[in-house]
């Protein structure tokens, strides 16, 4: 194994997703020699995947609403946002030649709705600033002398660094690099961690063979869903979701996924109440369904009097007992609050993001691990979660920014001479 050269002014950034690259940018701008290591053949693969869905970079809502999306972690994320917020993120993209726009829902996207042009311009700028990239370098932990161990195409390497930023991602979409394999490495060093759990995820439902065969892949549009958590709090969201072979997924489900997941953990399952016709009043719906249907089939009656057909009718038959379809009152009540029982979240690897990760108790305000001075963490590997809407990428970018600044503050304190801001080359 090649010996590690002591490189006090070299900063190792491990993980080339949005968080790691942003830390690399802050550090290289300050004149540090930055080496980015990534296990995959190229960096930012999940970021590129996010680009397939339009790349929702951030959100244009008011700062108090924005920060509230991070729930119990609003204080920590708020500190990062105070240094580099959604507007600065848009300005940063603009400086890379990427215009952004605010969609009707307040979500912010690049004009081209893609990640590749932004990533290309960003990597070009980083390389121009002297940042080196080492693909196919899988971090394996630390050697006895504190240097970083990597599995590389040339065999195992030891790397010495003045400071390290870990930006290793969460635990979903392992095939894109973020496989959570860092968890035991940090646990072995006594770092407090919260279990990685699916966030913004789908759920398993025990569909009948009929529903699965006929409707898997079908969207259920213009509905709302209410979840009453075990503590009695009712959360309602409107939108659409998708029937899958194993259950349900899509924006409406993701928006409720954190309380649903927690509810399942607390009580074994969770029941969503689906309003199939949110624009219709219960009383009026009951009156309409009370019209004698004569020789009409129930399917025709539902279509004509309640606008229920196709996948919505199938869901109604699937989730209701036959006897409940008999009276207009009961039928209308079911259409307005159809109970859909969710058994369990889909596996972590399928989720849009992960909850859990490095506990904030393990970190100081500079995002440095208290137990490992000189090692900083950023991005989705930290214990925060947020809904979709641009909040995930924003927190990754801004925590990378915060970790980069944290390294500079720490170096200035512990190694004032070595924190010379002049470039090494």
Interacting residues with ligand FAD (CB under 6 A): 14-20, 37-40, 43, 45-47, 49-50, 53, 55-56, 138-139, 167-169, 172-173, 177-178, 181-182, 352-353, 379-380, 390, 392-393, 396
Nearer to ligand FAD, 83 or 281 (CB): 83
Residue with tokens 């993209």: 93
Min. distance of Cβ 421 from ligand FAD in angstroms? 26
H helices of 273-390, in order, are 282-290, 298-306, 310-319, 328-336
* Distance, CA of 19 to CA of 68 (rounded, Å): 21
C-alpha of 11 from chain center: 27
Burial 10-27 (b: 16+ CB within 10 A, else e): bbbbbbbbbbbbbbbbbb
Nearer to ligand FAD, 217 or 232 (CB): 217
The count of residues in the chain is 425
Rounded to 5 degrees, φ, ψ at 85 are -100, -175
Q: To which H or E segment does residue 240 belong? A: strand 234-243
**Residue 184, token pair as written in the block:** 């035991």
Nearer to ligand FAD, 16 or 406 (CB): 16
Min. distance of Cβ 419 from ligand FAD in angstroms? 25
Strands 148-152, 155-159: pairing kind: antiparallel
Min. distance of Cβ 370 from ligand FAD in angstroms? 21
Residue with tokens 């912010």: 108
Nearer to ligand FAD, 328 or 357 (CB): 357
**Side-chain half-sphere CA neighbours of 279 within 13 A:** 6
Min. distance of Cβ 144 from ligand FAD in angstroms? 19
Q: To which H or E segment does residue 244 belong? A: none
Nearer to ligand FAD, 119 or 306 (CB): 119
Give 108's strand partners: 58, 102
Min. distance of Cβ 286 from ligand FAD in angstroms? 41
Burial 206-239 (b: 16+ CB within 10 A, else e): ebeeebbeebeebebeebbbebbbeeeeeeebeb
* Distance, CA of 92 to CA of 83 (rounded, Å): 13
Nearer to ligand FAD, 157 or 393 (CB): 393
Nearer to ligand FAD, 318 or 380 (CB): 380
Min. distance of Cβ 186 from ligand FAD in angstroms? 11
Min. distance of Cβ 336 from ligand FAD in angstroms? 32
Nearer to ligand FAD, 141 or 373 (CB): 141
Q: Are 60 and 106 in contact (CB under 8 A)?
A: yes
Give 158's strand partners: 149
Min. distance of Cβ 188 from ligand FAD in angstroms? 14
Nearer to ligand FAD, 157 or 285 (CB): 157
Min. distance of Cβ 121 from ligand FAD in angstroms? 18
């Amino acid at each position: 194994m090649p010996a590690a050269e002591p490189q006090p002014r070299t900063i190792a950034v491990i993980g080339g997703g949005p968080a790691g690259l942003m830390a690399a940018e802050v550090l290289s701008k300050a004149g540090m020699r930055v080496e980015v290591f990534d296990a995959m053949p190229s960096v930012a693969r999940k970021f590129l995947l996010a680009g397939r869905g339009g790349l929702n970079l951030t959100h244009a809502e008011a700062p108090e609403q924005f920060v509230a999306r991070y729930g119990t972690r609003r204080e920590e994320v708020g500190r990062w946002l105070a240094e580099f917020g959604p507007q600065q993120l848009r300005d940063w993209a603009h400086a890379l030649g990427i215009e952004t726009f605010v969609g009707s829902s307040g979500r912010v996207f690049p004009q081209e709705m893609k990640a590749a042009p932004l990533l290309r311009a960003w990597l070009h700028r980083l390389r121009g600033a002297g940042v080196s990239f080492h693909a196919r370098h899988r971090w394996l932990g630390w050697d006895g002398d504190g240097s970083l161990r990597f599995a590389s195409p040339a065999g195992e390497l030891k790397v010495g660094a003045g400071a390290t930023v870990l930006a290793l991602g969460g635990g979903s979409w392992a095939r894109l690099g973020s496989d959570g394999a860092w968890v035991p490495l940090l646990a072995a060093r006594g770092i407090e961690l919260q279990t990685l759990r699916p966030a913004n995820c789908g759920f398993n439902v025990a569909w009948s063979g009929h529903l699965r065969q006929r409707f898997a892949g079908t969207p259920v549009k213009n509905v709302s869903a209410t979840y009453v958590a075990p503590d009695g709090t009712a959360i309602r969201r409107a939108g659409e979701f998708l029937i899958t072979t194993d259950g349900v997924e899509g924006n409406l489900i993701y928006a409720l996924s954190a309380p649903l997941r927690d509810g399942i953990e607390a009580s074994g399952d969770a029941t969503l109440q689906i309003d199939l016709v949110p624009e219709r009043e219960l009383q009026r719906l009951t009156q309409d369904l009370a019209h004698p249907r004569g020789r009409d089939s129930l399917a025709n009656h539902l279509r004509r009097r309640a606008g229920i057909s196709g996948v919505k009718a199938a869901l109604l038959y699937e989730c209701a007992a036959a006897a409940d379809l008999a009276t207009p009152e009961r039928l209308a009540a079911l259409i307005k609050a159809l109970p859909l029982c969710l058994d369990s979240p889909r596996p972590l690897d399928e989720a849009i993001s992960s909850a859990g990760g490095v506990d904030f108790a393990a970190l100081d305000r500079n995002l440095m691990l208290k137990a490992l001075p000189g090692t900083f963490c950023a991005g989705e590997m930290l214990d925060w979660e947020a809904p979709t809407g641009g909040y995930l990428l924003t927190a990754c970018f801004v925590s990378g920014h915060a970790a980069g600044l944290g390294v500079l503050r720490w170096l200035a304190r512990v190694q004032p001479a070595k924190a010379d801001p002049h470039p090494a080359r």
